[in-house]
Structure formats: C-alpha cells, structure tokens
Structure 1
Amino acid sequence: MDLKNKIKSILKKQEECKRELTHNTHTCDRSKTTNWSLYIALFLTASIYVVRGQDVQIPPKMTSTFNNEYYYPRHTRLTDATINCKAKNGQIKYEWKKNGAVVRNSQYVTVDELTGNLKFTRMMNEDYGTYQCFATNDQGTSLSKPFKVKESRMSSFPTSGVQEVRCKQFEHCVVQCREKRKCTPDSQCRLEWKLGQGTKTNVEISKRVGVDGNGDLHFLWSDTNDWTGQQYRCGVLQEQMKMLVLGSVTELKIDSASTVPDPELEPILRFKENGKAMYGGKGVLRCMFSGFPSPGVEWISPDNLIIKNTPGKYEISDFGRVLTILQAEPNYEGNYFCKGKGKGKTESGPQRVFLNVTSAPILVGDNQMRDIMVHVGKDAMFHCNASSLPGESPPSLPKWKKNGVDLVIDGGKYIVSENSRVLTVTDVQTPSDTGAYQCMSENSEGVLLKEAILKVMVVCCRRKAKDIKDNNLSRDWDK
C-alpha cells in the first residue's frame, strides 16, 4: 500500500473508532486515536522527502547508446545516415558538438533540437570527426560518450601482370591475394575469389578449399580439376558502398600425381590467427590444416575441454576452421588450442592461439556513479573507480564535469580525493548544485563516461500536530 492510501486507511479507522466511542462500545481503545494521529504525523514527515523529490523536475538522463565509430563514404548521397540521441526527464533540448564545436545546420547536415537526431545526407571532408550529444533541461545537462565518424574507404588493386602458380595433385597449394587493397570498416568488407573473367563465378569454399585471415586461397589438397584454364582473381567487396574491386590475377596449374597417397597425408598447420574481443563482444580465432583427405579441426578451451557449438558462447564455422567466441568476458581470455584431425588415427599436435579480451575502462566496486538526493547544506559524494581489465594499460585519472562542463577543482566547493576517484560537492545548495555530474576516463581501448544526478532536497511544508486532526487533511488526500 502506498503512503497516500495508508494515511487514508488510518483516517477511516480513526473515524470508525470515534463512532464506537460515541456509542459507548469497548471494541476500540481510546488511546489509539492519539496513536493514529501520531502515526499520521510521522507518515507526513517522511512523505515530505518523497513527494518533494517527485514533484520537482530532475536533470536529464541519457538513454541512447552509441557505437565507438560510425562509417560513411565521402561524396556519396546517403539514405540511412541518422544518429539518434535520446534522454529522459522532462522537456529536453538537444545539441550536437563536433571536435568541441556546436554543429550547425548546413546543406548536408541537420540537427533536430527537439528529437535529438543528427542526420547526414552527404559527407564532406569537414564532417568527419569526434561527435558528442548534449541533452539539456532546466535542471542540467546529460551527455553521450564521444564517438568518431570516419570515412568508409575502398581502394583499387594496382595494375600488375598474371602470376603463375604450379602445384602437385593431393598436396597443399596456396594462391596469394597479392597487394590486397585497404577496405574500411572491416565489418563492411568481404573478400571473395573469382574464377575467369567478370564477377559472376565464385570459387566455391568447401572442406577442401578455404580462405585464410589474410585473404589467401588454400587448396588443402589439390585436385586436377582446380586447373580449369581460367584465371583466379582476388576480389574485395565493400558492402556499404556496393563496390567490388578485383586484382591479383593468378594462373593455376596442377601437376598430376602418379598414385593416390597411401596412407593418408597427416594434417599440417598452414595458417593460424590470434583473436581480440571487446568485453561483451565477439572474438575470432582461426586454424587451417592441409592433408589428404581434408582433415577436420578440433578446438580446445583454456580449461582443456573440447569445444562444441554452444549458443551464446561458442560458434564453429567455415568447416571447423573458425572459432567465434560470443559475448566475451574477461575470464574467456587465454590460450586456446586447435588440432587437425585426419580420418584415421592421424592428427596434428596442438597449436596455440590466444584470445585477448579487452575493454575501455570499467567501474569497479559498489556505489559507483549513483544518483543521489542530499539535504541542503550537506555534502554529496560521487565515486568513479575506473579500472582496466587485467593485463591492460591502466586508465587515465578520472576527469569530472557538471552538466558537460569541466569542474574547477579548487578545494572549496569541489574536492577530489583517492587519486581523483572520489568527488565531494560540499555544502550543497539548490538550485545551483542540482545537476548531472560526469566522470570520464580512457585507456588504449576507449573512453568511459558515466554520469549521476545530484538532487538537492529542501525540507518544507511541515504541518503542526493540531492540523493532523483537521478534517481538511482528509479532504486534501482525497484530491
């Protein structure tokens, strides 16, 4: 039962008790009428703080989340290049800044101060940079973490001659993607191998044929059918730009073997690649083994357990050659092992690959950057114990802001302690100290920005004890 209904219930019981006493019944203790009045007084005193905090508007609180980077191509008409910024608490006005300067509406960039949308219709060179959203109401300003808007790029292969590669049937063969072009971002780039002229015929990827992390094409054992008389071409597709560039032309020739290998050719490691994952993100490990017949791949965890497809944790793909670690946590970091497994008893020795789980600074401990309500004249404390994951470079000391503006730490109004991890706002007053307070720290992997709201409370509107018995009190709560 909430406070308002509880008081109404007590008042109702008080009236019932008065009627019983009037009719000389003994089911009601006369002293309880006084106790009820006392209970109501106590409830009203407590309610001052609750109601007072609810009735008054509080500073904004950012609700949108943002990527660390956004990529858009230069000098291209954009149809889906809007970044949304949303905050809660009251009527809010939005503002965007690039490299610290306010973003103004222009021919190709628009800012909607009511919805918070930042929209690009065409990217010019001056539009790339570091952006940040500011959400403001009468009580303060909330801000997003800074993020970068970068250029999507795709360059062409240099002009070069045809290279001949000669391999032997049943043995491993590799065709290099020479002078592979720069393509960004990685998430929008895909390497494809084409056969012959044009772009319609893809080289089929199979258990026997694969592409490594460098883009090189591997025949884990070679077949005479791999020599078709057509040239192999390495291609890079930039999906966002819908652009495919081809290059690195190779003519492949396969020399026939006189006999089929007997026994089978044991697995030999041809490629392996370590992986890196952001905390909560994905990390990719790769291993590729040659052999005849094509060997399988077995993955082993740092705990020395055989890895299988596990929803939410492990995903094995590309015919066993790729292990993706999902929703990476710090304890997932470590040495993983892969083995090439032949059809018989043949297998390779274990090959080590390392997964590095990393992160921007994180907050460690209890009561970190929590919203607080403090009485006028008291001190308010915010905690920002920023830390890097084990093995990472330590983060910078926290920097403190109020409503997006750097605080002047002079040992008076604002005091920092514990290596800047604690901010004390002394002798808080309203409305000057009410607002959104921000703590920022960074390391080699990114930026931490956390904020908390300080609401300064004023005790007021205490009622005298005699007012508790006034019938008007009951009418007030009925409204």
Structure 2
Amino acid sequence: MELGKLMQFILVANILLGAHFLHFPPRISSVFQPEYFLDSSCTLSLRCQGLNDVISYRWYQYGSQIKGDAEIATNKNTGELVISKICTKQNLGIFYCIAENKYGSTMSPFVKISELVLKNVGRTQNPYVTCKENEHCQLKCTGKPICEPQNECTVSWYQGTGTTNVIKRNKSTAIDLEGNLHFLNVRKISGNKTYACGIWNQRIRNLVKGISITLNINNSIAAPLPRAIYHSRSKALLGGNAILQCIFSKIFVPGIKWKNPQGSYITTNDKYRIGPYGRQLQVMNVTYNDEGHYSCEANNLTQTPFLNVTSPPIFPENNSRFLIKTINISTDYAVNLNCNAVSSPTEKAPIVTRWMKNGILIRSFQDFDIQLLDNNSVLRIYRKRFEHAGAFQCVTENSEGIAVANFIIESEDVKGKDNKLMIIMILLVVSLVTLVTLGVIIRKRIYQRNKKWRRKTEVNTDIYTLPSEEFDEHQRRSYEEIRLEEMYSTLEEANSNHMTRCSEDHVGNNNTEVEDIGEYNGLRYQCQNGEVRPSENIYDRTNNVVSGIYDSTSMQTVINVYTI
C-alpha cells in the first residue's frame, strides 16, 4: 500500500513538473451548475480552482470585476466567491471567474445566480365561469403565482377558502401542464362553489394560492361526444427528462395509447413511463432523436403533442458548454481559432458575443494582427512572430445559455523545440531515478523481511538446525570457553579412571587405612616440594582440587591417589 502511494505521488510530481516546464496558463478545474438560487438565508459560496501554478483569481459580474464589499466578497488567493446574508438585486446576475498565472489567464464557465421566487401577481375581482352539465369544463389558473425554480414548483387546486379541500386527479378530473383544472364531465354538485389554484415551492416550502373562481353549472340538452381537449407543447434540456400530456373528455374514456416520433407504440420501460389514466408520458434522458411530434390515441381520437429538445451551446469536441483546448502555433503561419459551438438541430446557431485575451475583452484589433471571420466565430492570428503566449477566450450564446472556450496557445519555434526536447529528457531522467529508487526500496524491504525471519527461526527451539549452523555457532564461541570445556571433560574422565583403579588396587593390596594415608601424605609432600614432575598429575580428592598441574596432552600414566 505504501509503495502504491509513493508511486502515485511520484507520478503526480512528474506531471506537475512537466506542467510547470511547459509554461502554460492555468486550467480551470471547477465544475459549476448553469444556475444557482439563493436560499432563504440569501447566502451562497462558490470556489473557482485551476491547475498549473495558479497565482490569483478574479471574479466578474456582468463583465465588471468584483472589488468586494459587504454583500459580495472574493478571495484572490483561494478563488472563493461569497454572497452575504443581504438579499438585493445587486447579488444576482451572470458571474464568471478568471484564473491567472505569469503565463496567462483562462476563464471559467458562466454562472447565473438567481433568487427563489414564490409570490402573487396583481389582484382582480373574482371571475365567474359557467359550464354545462356532463360536458367538459375548464377553470384556468387565474392569478397564477410566480414560482422559481420551475422544476421545484407544483400546482394543486382547492375548493373553497383555505387549503383543506384538495381537488384530486381521477378519471373525471385532470390538471394540465399549464396548471389549469379540467372537469371531463362536470356535474351539478360541482356548481355554485369557488375554486382556486395554488403553487407549492419545494425549496421555500411554502404555498401561495391564486385568485378564486366561482363555478356555475347549467343543464345540458344533448349528450356530449368524446373530444380531444388538450395536448402539450413541451420543452426539455438535452440529457434531462420530459413530460408530454394528452387529455380527452367523456365519462368513460378508453385507455390512451402513445406513439413516438418514429410511429412505434410505446410501453413503459427504462426510456418511457406512462402515468395514471394514460394522460402523461415521461421521456427519460432525452436526446436530439427524441425531438418531434408524438401521438396519443383514444376512442378514434388522436392528438400530437410536441417535444422540443434544446440545450445551451455545445462544443462538439467534448459535448460540453465549457472547453479548454491547446493550440500549437508556428511562428511563420497564421492560425484559426474556431468557436464552433452548436445548438439543437432545429434551432438557430449560437452567436459569438465576445473574444478575449487572457480574460480581457478585445475591444480593438489594432493591438493584434488578427481578423474575425464567419460572423465572428473564427479568430485568425497573423502575427509573424508570436511573442506573447497565453490564452484566448470566446463567449457564445443562444436562447438557453452561454458557452465558453479557452484556447491555450503553445508557440513553437526552434528554441521552443529545443526546450520541449529538454523537458522530455528531464522527465525521462526523473522517471529513471524513480525506478532505481523503487528498486532499492524493494530490495531493502526484502532483505529486512528475510533477516526478521531468520531471527524468529533462531529464537524458536523447536525448529531443526542444520549441522552446519551448529558448527558455525560452535565456531562463534571463544577460545577460552572451548579450552575450559575440554579441561572439565578431561577432569571428569580422569576422576572416573581414578575411581576404577583405586577400587581395583584397594581390593588387591593388604594395606591398612593408616598405611594408605601415609603413602598419600608422602606423595603430597613431594608435590609441594617440587619433587614431582609437571607431567605427573595428582588429583586431591580430599579437598576436591587439583594438587599439581593438569596436563591434558600428556600421554604418561596418571598417578592416582584415592582417599578412603
């Protein structure tokens, strides 16, 4: 695990080292949503981050640099944008960030900051609606409250004052995607009552009602016929989900069948979901191929709701609204920077609204030998010697949003080629040193592991030791220890022989105890006066010591004296 982390660290170090030597402007790494909504506390924090030796950050609102005040604060070192607890219109709008180092600047995606909204519109007198019994009756959501973001808002209908009596969707009652209420076959019992729509905002967690409507029901002369009364025209962003709707009137409406734009019948699966009573069709993860007219059929009636798949400008290189691209430019030739973002196939092409150099708007082309082509979508650079490497930016827009492209310029000349070769050589040397270092570390760890294993083997007495290892251990003992062991071994052997001989001699002689003691004392006297040669060893059993010099190498007969 530690070696893996070390290798990852060295790899990242090599990449950062290479990025440093390449002298490139920063690369924005932050991912922003297209739109943010201030919550009820009116606070929001965004952080802009870049790679390649970022020195500082700047935030802009509507193209003007934010200086920082009590409501909006920025940090040039961390790239953070903080909106305080003061809710004002000055906190809203279009924002973007510039990341800068000494080699140039790049621009972040554009971000829209909006406020959460749920409020009533102007009040009017309560309207009256008259319908015929058993026929279709529609009540429009009059005074519909404004609600943002729309994907967090839901519509409900209520009878009378307050919010207790909720009108439920069923086979004879429907609410369309615009918030209108439909009685598919209204009855007398529903008349002479007031109704009002209400909007619930999930983010704010609050409900606001619209204007109340009084409904009157008249008698019907003829039996009504089934009618196709509503179909939606829906819009969805590329990659999102879409909802289409069809509503038919009559008491008993047979099941609604759906067809896709290619004319094939639809069933519920991972791509499509059909809602209750067959009135709604949900299309999941829409693509441009999902755009077109759908068909909903019931009782020989057909309606054709339309789905429009749209998106902000998208760059084909990465299918995103944000692009960072490195352009290699030769000093002897012109280069074209193509801001080639596209819209939905059925919509108008995006419009390039501005070109920038290192985050600064190009107001005049006199400072650069450049030319705009193809409705400002192509920037051509003609400079004979491109001395200022850095980055150019294009900003392009359509009805659904804004896209940004960063073109990082790499100027290549003879010196540049030599520098690139030097960089490659440096990286190769660093990689080689890395491999050698890893080899040494691995070898050292293997040696330490084996050494630790040998130690465990020596400590364990149950493990069999080879004779060679025993001999080695014997060799490691000192000379004095070996000599001492041999001496005591010889003494024991001499003692044993002495006992045997004495026993035999004692049995065979007729000396008395007094005579034996006298003979022993005589020999002892001779030893003490130096009359006995060093080779004649005398073992004194009386005091259990050697009386004389013990010579283990002597081949002479040992004089044994046994004391009874």
| TM-score, structure 1 normalization | 0.71
Residue 113 (structure 2) pairs with residue 149 (structure 1): yes
Indicate how the Cα distance of structure 1 residues 253 and 460 shifts in structure 2: closer, same or farther if over 3 A, else same: closer
Indicate how the Cα distance of structure 1 residues 270 and 55 shifts in structure 2: closer, same or farther if over 3 A, else same: same
* 1:61 partner amino acid: R
Query: What is the CA distance between 1:109 and its match in structure 2?
Result: 2.5
User: Residue 30 of structure 1 aligns with which residue?
Assistant: none
Alignment of 1:271-290 (within 5 A): 271-290=230-249
User: Residue 440 of structure 1 aligns with which residue?
Assistant: 395
Alignment of 1:280-359 (within 5 A): 280-311=239-270, 313-317=271-275, 319-340=277-298, 347-359=299-311
Distance (Å, rounded) in 2 between the aligned partners of 1:50 and 1:235:
56
* 1:131 partner amino acid: F
User: Residue 27 of structure 2 aligns with which residue?
Assistant: 61
Judge conservation of contact 1:157–1:247 (CA < 8 Å) in 2.
no
Distance (Å, rounded) in 2 between the aligned partners of 1:324 and 1:136:
45
Unmatched 5+ stretches in structure 2? 1-6, 8-14, 423-430, 438-564
Alignment of 1:303-452 (within 5 A): 303-311=262-270, 313-317=271-275, 319-340=277-298, 347-364=299-316, 370-373=325-328, 381-397=336-352, 399-407=354-362, 408-410=364-366, 413-417=369-373, 420-424=377-381, 426=383, 432-433=388-389, 435-452=390-407
The one-character-per-residue Cα deviations of 1:63-96 (angstroms, maximum 9, x if unpaired) are 33444444448xx6325x3334333333453321
Query: What is the CA distance between 1:244 and its match in structure 2?
Result: 2.2
* 2:312 partner amino acid: A
Judge conservation of contact 2:235–2:308 (CA < 8 Å) in 1.
yes
User: Residue 179 of structure 2 aligns with which residue?
Assistant: 215
Judge conservation of contact 1:369–1:384 (CA < 8 Å) in 2.
no
User: Residue 183 of structure 1 aligns with which residue?
Assistant: 147
SS at match of 2:406: strand
Distance (Å, rounded) in 2 between the aligned partners of 1:149 and 1:215:
27
State the identity as a percent.
27
User: Residue 32 of structure 1 aligns with which residue?
Assistant: none
SS at match of 2:171: coil
Indicate how the Cα distance of structure 1 residues 158 and 53 shifts in structure 2: closer, same or farther if over 3 A, else same: closer
C-alpha RMSD of the superposition: 4.1
Which residue of the other structure, out of 73, 86, 101, is the alignment partner of 2:49?
86
Distance (Å, rounded) in 1 between the aligned partners of 2:53 and 2:277:
54
Query: What is the CA distance between 1:452 and its match in structure 2?
Result: 3.0
SS at match of 1:331: helix
Distance (Å, rounded) in 2 between the aligned partners of 1:226 and 1:325:
35
Q: Which structure has the higher relative contact order (CA within 8 Å, separation 6+)?
A: 1
Query: What is the CA distance between 1:139 and its match in structure 2?
Result: 2.7
Judge conservation of contact 1:60–1:140 (CA < 8 Å) in 2.
yes
SS at match of 1:126: helix
User: Residue 96 of structure 1 aligns with which residue?
Assistant: 59
SS at match of 1:439: strand
| TM-score, structure 2 normalization | 0.61
Structure number having the greater strand percentage:
1
Indicate how the Cα distance of structure 1 residues 324 and 133 shifts in structure 2: closer, same or farther if over 3 A, else same: farther
Indicate how the Cα distance of structure 1 residues 68 and 318 shifts in structure 2: closer, same or farther if over 3 A, else same: farther
Distance (Å, rounded) in 2 between the aligned partners of 1:161 and 1:474:
84
Indicate how the Cα distance of structure 1 residues 149 and 417 shifts in structure 2: closer, same or farther if over 3 A, else same: same
Distance (Å, rounded) in 1 between the aligned partners of 2:127 and 2:338:
63
Distance (Å, rounded) in 2 between the aligned partners of 1:87 and 1:207:
56
Distance (Å, rounded) in 2 between the aligned partners of 1:339 and 1:66:
42
Judge conservation of contact 2:120–2:143 (CA < 8 Å) in 1.
no
Indicate how the Cα distance of structure 1 residues 162 and 397 shifts in structure 2: closer, same or farther if over 3 A, else same: closer
Q: Judge which range, 287-296 or 143-152, deviates more.
A: 143-152
Indicate how the Cα distance of structure 1 residues 293 and 256 shifts in structure 2: closer, same or farther if over 3 A, else same: farther
User: How many residue pairs were aligned?
Assistant: 407
Indicate how the Cα distance of structure 1 residues 175 and 57 shifts in structure 2: closer, same or farther if over 3 A, else same: same
Indicate how the Cα distance of structure 1 residues 86 and 294 shifts in structure 2: closer, same or farther if over 3 A, else same: farther
Q: Judge which range, 402-411 or 437-446, deviates more.
A: 402-411
User: Residue 18 of structure 1 aligns with which residue?
Assistant: none
SS at match of 1:207: coil
User: Residue 246 of structure 1 aligns with which residue?
Assistant: 209
Distance (Å, rounded) in 2 between the aligned partners of 1:418 and 1:257:
64
The one-character-per-residue Cα deviations of 1:113-149 (angstroms, maximum 9, x if unpaired) are 3142333422213223322222223332221233433
Structure number having the greater helix percentage:
2
Alignment of 1:37-76 (within 5 A): 55-56=21-22, 58-72=24-38
Q: Judge which range, 118-127 or 413-422, deviates more.
A: 413-422
Judge conservation of contact 1:365–1:385 (CA < 8 Å) in 2.
no
* 1:100 partner amino acid: G
- The higher radius of gyration belongs to 2
Query: What is the CA distance between 1:414 and its match in structure 2?
Result: 3.8
